[in-house]
Chains A and B, each alone.
Chain A
Amino acid sequence: MGDVRVSGLGKAYKQYPGQWSRLAEWILPAGKPRHIEHWVLKDIDFHLHAGEAVGIVGANGAGKSTLLKMLAGTVRPSCGEITIGGRVAAMLELGMGFHPDFTGRQNAVMGGQLLGLSLEEIAQLMPHIEAFAEIGEYVDQPVRTYSSGMQMRLAFSVATAQRPDILIVDEALSVGDSYFQHKSFERIREFRREGTTLLIVSHDRYAIQTVCDRAILMDAGRIRMQGLPVDVLDYYNAMMAEQNHHRIQQKTLADGRVTTISGSGEASIVDVRLLNQHDRPADTVEVGEPLRLQVRVRVNSALPRLVLGFLVKDRLGQAIYGINTHRLEQPLEDLAAGEEATYCFSFPARLGKGSYSVSLSLSREDSHVDKNFEWRDNALIFHVFNTDKEDFVGSSWLGADVTITRHDMASSAIHPAQGLS
């Protein structure tokens, strides 16, 4: 139960030059095909194990939604096979089939019936649906009076009222307030512990990295990469900048991390060092220790403008701090081919315990999407230890001080009286 096996899956849409040629193809018995096959998805192979959570990422039009629709069973594949072990619940669009003039309760019943549940089963689940949605009295009000967040709360509660063997979610979780988002993620995690396989499409890096064990990168209808979410997302990020998709390399570092290098190559990073106050390479750092990031850059062909940026990310790939020489108002201008420059950023490591990575970018402007000479994820990694500071939690050291004033309520009531006497 819960296994999903996809092999050789493809989807082609038929494109006819006109309606008449479709008619001709339908009617003429010995007719040759008069349509062009437009392949939106090709050669898709993957295997999801029961209880695994897999995220699908990719640009718009990469075929993610089509893939989910085929897994959900609404769109028929043109070739290949899908084997699904168990009941699928697909949330391709929340609140689908809701009628605005009916109450939340009536719509919940309808939604349940659409899932193939009987009235008795729905009646049994109803209290749970209401409790999870937390929309209070509104459940008996027409859905048109709901805010979009409330609609989504109800829809999610109905869709997940019963634990499915396979849960398919398309972007749906990005709506709703953070409280409910948290709550719905918690429910999904709970399902996973009980063995539900999760397949999720999202542009939200955080969602994929915190929930998924694996990520699949889709590009132009094919699977481009599968692997750990962090690696796949780094690659995806590089791919977004490098629209022509050439020159993306990934190297596995000694510690098993993967570094992704992409860019057009007009300038490149020759050397990166993180130095401590004694000018020694710092791969372990004390909380608050002053650091210098030294980057040596080589210009390969003449450039009008060059900006170097660095970004510190935590273990999950969340950005902690990033800055570039454009924002620091020190871009280099009119560089000749063969020129080299050494940058030195200094900053104190006001970070929490844990490991961090540094990504670097060489670009023309503020954003690397405009013109990306080189983008290097995981250019180096360092670990922060805390031996001399108080033991705090979190990713940044704010160095809080504390002063405490005690208010003795019993004696303070007497003081004014004493003053009078």
Chain B
Amino acid sequence: MSLALTRTLWRYRGFIMGSVKREFQARYRNSLLGAAWTVLQPLAMITVYTVVFSELMRTRLPGIDSPYAYSIFLCAGLLTWGLFGEILQRGQTVFLDNGNMIKKLNFPRICLPAITVINAVVNFAITFSIFLAFLAVTHSLPGWVILYAIPVLLVQIAFATGLGIIAGVLNVFFRDVGQFVNILLQFWFWFTPIIYSTATLPASVRPWMKLNPMTPLAQAYQGIFVYGLAPSWSTIWPAAVLAAGLCVVALTLFRRRAGEMVDEL
């Protein structure tokens, strides 16, 4: 199943990469600064957080003295959450948005979510490299520990892709799914320790936070970038297994409902 899938995606790699490129070009067409906007947006975000939290509010993380620590803490969580949110939100509309193409052209439909995911990853890569540049400028680079972020990111991407495809297929049949996912994402964001640390929560709430698969992922990024610590893999594993499970469910659902999906579009 996955072999045939990989082969299909490989055969249509030209179309997939072309679409990713095209989506990028389309976004900044008819703008003067063009691709510079991709850089300016995250730069603005990082600047705002740094100025507001470390200069104006003088927020400090317990145990670290650096004025940038809280800003780094925020960005580590927010940027990666952004990747998760983008894959999920665009995944849930990917089939609806391309309905006419799915009905009129015979091509492997699995290319569509692949384009969405790669697009989100490229966006993230640009944003994240600005973040890394910021770390370098403020002498806050954590060293080789940073490479541990890659497997964590892979788990997160797989998790988001699985969920995104499931939501995308279901959304064709039940438009409620799209509405629901948007609300879910808001709650999920605040239930994940992104702008706060679990240490600040009352002890009675903390065990519940562990049920959220995004918690260990967010904590892993914060650990790497703020404290220079390797993630605790024992907390990542459950999320990884869940992500793999979701991908299998997503592909099965997609396969089973792909035909019916065309009838509904």
Judge whether A92 and B104 touch: CB under 8 Å: yes
Q: Contacts A75-B263, A99-B22 given: A114-B103 contact, CB under 8 Å?
A: no
B15 touches A74 (CB 8 A): no
For window 100-119 of B, CB contacts with A under 8 Å fall at: 100-107
Count, chain B residues at interface, CB 8 A:
27
From A14, A88, A101, A118, give the contact of B14 (CB < 8 A).
Answer: A118
A102: interface (CB < 8 Å):
yes
B12 contacts which chain A residues (CB < 8 A)?
113, 116
Q: Mark B226-265, 1 if CB is under 8 A from A, else 0.
A: 0000000000000000000000000000000011101100
Contact B260 A116 (CB under 8 A): no
Q: Cβ of A74 and Cβ of B174 under 8 Å apart? A: no
Q: A14-B260, A102-B25 are in contact. Are A22 and B104 (CB under 8 A)?
A: no
Are A13's CB and B18's CB within 8 A?
no
A14 to B173, CA, bound (A): 12
Question: Is B210 part of the binding interface, using a Cβ–Cβ cutoff of 8 Å?
Answer: no
Knowing A23-B174, A96-B105, say if A76 contacts B18 (CB, 8 Å): no
1/0 per residue, CB under 8 A from B, across A85-113: the answer is 00010101100110101100010011001
A319 in the interface, Cβ–Cβ < 8 Å? no
Closest to B101 in A: A97
CB <8 Å contact, B104 and A113? no
User: Once bound together, how far apart are the Cα atoms of A264 and B62, in whole Å?
Assistant: 93
Given contacts A23-B174, A109-B18, contact A72 B106 (CB under 8 A): yes
Q: Is the CB of B100 within 8 A of A88?
A: no
Report B173 CB to chain A, min CB distance, Å. 7
Asked if B26 is at the interface (CB within 8 A of a chain A CB), the reply is yes
Of all chain B residues, the one with the shortest Cβ separation from A76 is: B259
Q: Given A13-B263, A114-B107: A119 and B101 within 8 A (CB)?
A: no
Whether A99 contacts B26 by the Cβ 8 Å rule is yes
Residue of B with least CB distance to A11: B263
B29 touches A101 (CB 8 A): yes
Answer whether A101 and B26 are a contact pair too, CB < 8 Å, given A74-B262, A113-B12. yes
Nearest chain A CB to B96 CB, angstrom units: 15
Q: Smallest CB-CB separation from B107: which chain A residue?
A: A114
A266 to B22 Cα, complex, angstroms: 65
The answer to whether A102 and B107 have CB atoms under 8 Å apart is: no
Q: Which residues of B contact A110 (CB under 8 A)?
A: 15, 18-19, 22
Apart from A88-B106, A92-B105, 15 more pairs, CB < 8 Å:
A19-B174, A19-B176, A74-B106, A90-B105, A97-B105, A99-B26, A102-B25, A110-B19, A113-B12, A113-B15, A113-B18, A116-B11, A116-B12, A117-B14, A119-B14
* B contact residues vs A (CB 8 Å cutoff): 11-12, 14-15, 18-19, 22, 25-26, 29-30, 100-107, 173-174, 176, 258-260, 262-263
